[in-house]
Structure 1
């Protein structure tokens, strides 16, 4: 939620409070409450739908292999930038 809030602050200059974002994601199914009342991790598909529908952000879920390649590519670009 903190990262989402930072993105919204950067883009819009303002953002909802963290708890409002949390409750919105929870209502969308992005957080599922366990029997003991705890919450276990973020459910990505409902979160992606929430940020698209409520905040107009482009988001997608990427398969793990694709994600690893994107991360490796970004790391390489960063390294190339700092060694020029």
Structure 2
């Protein structure tokens, strides 16, 4: 069974949901927790490595850039 994603918004835009079952997950470069990222079909997927079966967040490259810049600026809570 393919890993679940939160790719409903991708499907709504005419793109099929991504199959993350063969993704090569990498640990995040720094920070607390067990955040993992994978690069699949031109998109960036992010998941909690301690709960790999939970849905993953999927970003288009521009959305990923905005997310990373927002996190660095502290927009999502304390760093």
TM-score calculated relative to the size of structure 2: 0.37
Greater C-alpha Rg: 1
Q: More relative contact order in 1 or in 2 (CA 8 Å, sep 6+)?
A: 2
Larger helix proportion of the pair:
1
TM-score calculated relative to the size of structure 1: 0.35
